[in-house]
Amino acid sequence: MTTLPFSAGDDRPGKMVIITGYFAGESYGLLGPQAAATIITRQTPYECLVVTVNNEDAPRTVKKVLYDYFGSQTPLVGFSYLSGRPDLLALAAELKAEGATTLLAGPQSNVDFTGETGCERHPHRFQGLGDYFNFALHGPAEQLVPLLQNESPAVLADIAGALYLDEKGAQVENPEIDWNPAIFNNIDWSNIYGIVESRLVPIDISAAQVLQQIGCPWAARSKPADIDYPAFLAQPDVKKVHLDLAGCSFCDVASDKGLVTGLPTDAVLDQVASLPETADGRKIPFELINENPLPGLPRLLERIRDRGLEISRISLTLRADWLLKAERHLQTALEMARDMHIRIVFASIGFESFSAILLDNLNKGLSVDTNLAAVDLIRRMKTAFPHEMGYLRSEGGNHGFIHPTPWDTRATESEVGHVIAKHDLARDILPDHSTPLIIHHASGLAAWIRAIESRENLRFNRIGSIIAWWDDPH
């Protein structure tokens, strides 16, 4: 049975770190890693910190900070929210080679540890991260608790949600347990640190997240889709690839997000109650994690008010069509926001494109007309509720707009440019920078790429876990 160096014969309190990617100069909380660190600290003999690493942090400095923190203890380091960053993967590999125990966690941990579909038969495909980490953990953080006990610690074979290589090098994946909403109550929002001048410095967070729903209803069931060949491989007969897709074709966690579970309102209120407060005594702004939040938002605001919780701002992320369907609920919520002296901010509306061809290939389930109707709605609501509603870039809005894509042509560029100009979208809707289409190896579009490779006897380059569709295939 697989054992780990930190879990045998150690009768003293230990330390653990969760490394996560971060943006320099920011001060936002991270629900997943901070909830995990809270659970580990409270339920095991280990103190666990979340250590953020931004692009400006030198790898040598990060290693020094870690070794200073662990002292004589064998480092135990989790990694989450890596976003494919090669510097963090290299750090994990170096730490493992030097004797540390490293584990991969987060929503992509299972597929990234295992590797791309068919990678054992196709060496050019992403081979997984088994060589970078001792093991991976997919699912709730409390699955790790038995491994961190001083008395009779469990082995990996007994850890739910663990993925690892056995003594023969074969991959093992243990079934994970269900999510318990209670783990998000009473999170220690002070357990997150940055690196300043080669030392750990606490981050005083100014925004956080509150979980109301796990998953996305759009990804809840598969639907047939015909995805066009890339424009640079277009054939006279306009070839397509037929797929059964759950959610948007570019979503890299659709298999997770399709598992839709709503949390009880009391559990959501408990999360709000545990948020840090601003100088005026109100709760810090928070993002409500719910892909379709508007139908239940008036009721949630009513319960927040009845419980005497003083909040300041709620940020929302949602689809354009669900925004339209919930206009009545939005109107009610904004009227309540006026009475409560709070703001409701649309942090991200998933428009993604204003081309019918591109929306179809992204499997958004949206039309250009739907997107434009949503734009009209939020502009009207902003006029009616100028202080209670936000969606502008200056108010924290960063709406989805994917460009470039493999299907871009002169015709699509002209179509999108015409819509942007006609409806003045650059003024208030488009982000400062578009987001290039990223094809993660576990997304629906990765299956599209693999089908094209097989049909046309081509190979697309891989850059870590990402398929480089923009490189010429060979």
If you write DSSP's letter for every residue of 413-427 in order, what string do you get?
Answer: HHHHHHHHHHTTHHH
d(CA 272, CA 345): 17
- In this structure, which amino acid lies at residue 38? T
> How confident is the model at residue 2, as a pLDDT?
53
- Strand 162-165 relative to strand 462-463: parallel, antiparallel, unpaired? unpaired
Homologous superfamily assigned to 208-467 = tm_1862 like domain (3.80.30.20)
Q: pLDDT for 279-290, tens place per residue?
A: 999 999 999 999
Q: Which residues pair with 344 in a beta bridge?
A: 314, 389
- In this structure, which amino acid lies at residue 61? T
Closest Cα partner for 449 from 253, 250, 257, 256?
250
Kindly state the average pLDDT of the residues 101-130. 96
Q: Is pLDDT above 50 for 11?
A: no
Kindly state the average pLDDT of the residues 116-127. 97
Beta-carbon count within 10 A of 95 CB: 24
d(CA 311, CA 288): 12
Q: Is pLDDT above 70 for 6?
A: no
Task: Using CB atoms within 10 Å of the CB of residue 196, give its burial: 0 to 12 exposed, 13 to 18 middle, 19+ buried.
Answer: exposed
> How confident is the model at residue 154, as a pLDDT?
80
Q: pLDDT for 392-425, tens place per residue?
A: 999 999 999 999 999 999 999 999 999 999 999 9
- Strand 223-228 relative to strand 213-214: parallel, antiparallel, unpaired? unpaired
**Structure token pair of residue 195:** 């690196």
d(CA 180, CA 267): 10
d(CA 308, CA 12): 43
d(CA 386, CA 405): 35
> How confident is the model at residue 26, as a pLDDT?
94
The CATH 3.80.30.20 portion of the chain extends over: 208-467
SS3 assignment, position 120: coil
- Strand 162-165 relative to strand 135-137: parallel, antiparallel, unpaired? antiparallel
24: phi then psi, degrees, rounded to nearest 5: -60, 140
Q: pLDDT for 421-455, tens place per residue?
A: 999 999 999 999 999 999 999 999 999 999 999 99
SS3 assignment, position 31: helix
SS3 assignment, position 109: helix
Q: What is the mean pLDDT of the chain?
A: 93
Residue 99 DSSP label:
T
Q: Is pLDDT above 50 for 18?
A: yes
- Strand 14-21 relative to strand 46-53: parallel, antiparallel, unpaired? parallel
User: Residue 51 belongs to what H/E stretch?
Assistant: strand 46-53
Q: pLDDT for 302-337, tens place per residue?
A: 999 999 999 999 999 999 999 999 999 999 999 999
d(CA 242, CA 221): 16
pLDDT band at 182 (very low <50, low <70, confident <90, very high): confident
d(CA 179, CA 140): 6
d(CA 263, CA 218): 18
Kindly state the average pLDDT of the residues 101-126. 96
Instruction: Tell me how far CA of residue 297 lies from CA of 302, 344, 351, in angstroms.
Output: 9, 10, 21
Kindly state the average pLDDT of the residues 142-152. 88
Q: Considering only 51-55, 192-196, 238-242, which range has the smallest mean pLDDT?
A: 238-242
240: phi then psi, degrees, rounded to nearest 5: -135, 160
pTM of the model: 0.93
d(CA 233, CA 225): 19
Contact 52, 193 (CB under 8 A): yes
Residue 265, C-beta contacts closer than 8 angstroms, at least 6 positions apart: 299, 300, 303
The CATH 3.40.50 portion of the chain extends over: 5-202
Residue 99, C-beta contacts closer than 8 angstroms, at least 6 positions apart: 5, 74
Q: Which CATH class is domain 5-202?
A: alpha beta
Contact 163, 172 (CB under 8 A): yes
